[in-house]
Structure 1
């Protein structure tokens, strides 16, 4: 990474979490044209929200949800001006470190089909057929 980035676990609706929601809206709803009704859901209320802060601003975010059989990492978003600097990878690594004791260290995510290499770096393997999520091709991935 070019600049030092802090990755923080923040409570839902805290100031930093609200900034993360703003970033998610900018990336998914405005940039990638995901319908807003699909972007925010009830899982946001119980998720662990990780927020990356670089140079005093929210540069990235993701959420972690405890599903019955695995820990699901999702809603990974990085502000356009901070992309390509390792922020998404740092957030995923931190999420795995924080939650590896849960669900027998089994993690799951769905990745945009053109972004598989990022998840593969953490041992995730794609399985099943490609599907549309938010209008974009995705693949399910697990690392167990």
Structure 2
């Protein structure tokens, strides 16, 4: 993974199309999320990141800049590329981009079994569990003062 590259891309670009294919494989095929739920209007305005390993797009996430916070979501890594720290590297790159835009409040909704992953990045779960796309989720947040510089 020494040649891992993380790039911001337009969802309308060729790399953006590959990001959507990663999301399709992870969310729609593996996790049975309906396509109507997985794709939404935020895709057009979000910053999308792709992780390229060995020349292939293997991961993606998006950041939606809302008035109240930067919302991270659609974090996906292809099955064969998991366990290499790719999602962590994408999140760190995304938080750096958000900070560079003056954002200090970060938010996401985590699948219940992924909460510890986000806790390692400085996020804290709050509120009650809720169902999203047929899976239990929790809201999570962090603030710039909570993050290591």
TM range (shorter): over 0.9
- Aligned match of 1:70: 69
- Aligned match of 2:78: 79
Question: How far apart are 1:103 and its partner, in Å?
Answer: 5.7
**Alignment check: 8 A CA contact 1:23 1:60 kept:** yes
- Aligned match of 1:8: 7
Question: How far apart are 1:67 and its partner, in Å?
Answer: 1.0
**Alignment check: 8 A CA contact 1:71 1:103 kept:** no
- Aligned match of 1:24: 23
Q: SS of the residue aligned with 1:62?
A: strand
Q: Does 1:110 align with 2:109?
A: yes
Unaligned runs of 5+ in 1: none
- Aligned match of 1:138: 137
- Indicate how the Cα distance of structure 1 residues 51 and 109 shifts in structure 2: closer, same or farther if over 3 A, else same: same
TM-score (norm 1): 0.96
| Paired residue total | 143
Question: How far apart are 1:13 and its partner, in Å?
Answer: 1.2
**Alignment check: 8 A CA contact 1:69 1:103 kept:** no
Q: SS of the residue aligned with 2:28?
A: helix
After the TM superposition, which parts of structure 1 deviate over 3 Å for at least 4 consecutive aligned residues? Answer: 101-104
Question: How far apart are 1:3 and its partner, in Å?
Answer: 3.9
RMSD: 1.1
Question: How far apart are 1:63 and its partner, in Å?
Answer: 0.2
- Aligned match of 2:147: none
- Aligned match of 2:35: 36
Matches of 2:100 and 2:106, distance apart in 1: 11
Matches of 1:104 and 1:37, distance apart in 2: 29
TM-score (norm 2): 0.92
**Alignment check: 8 A CA contact 1:111 1:140 kept:** yes
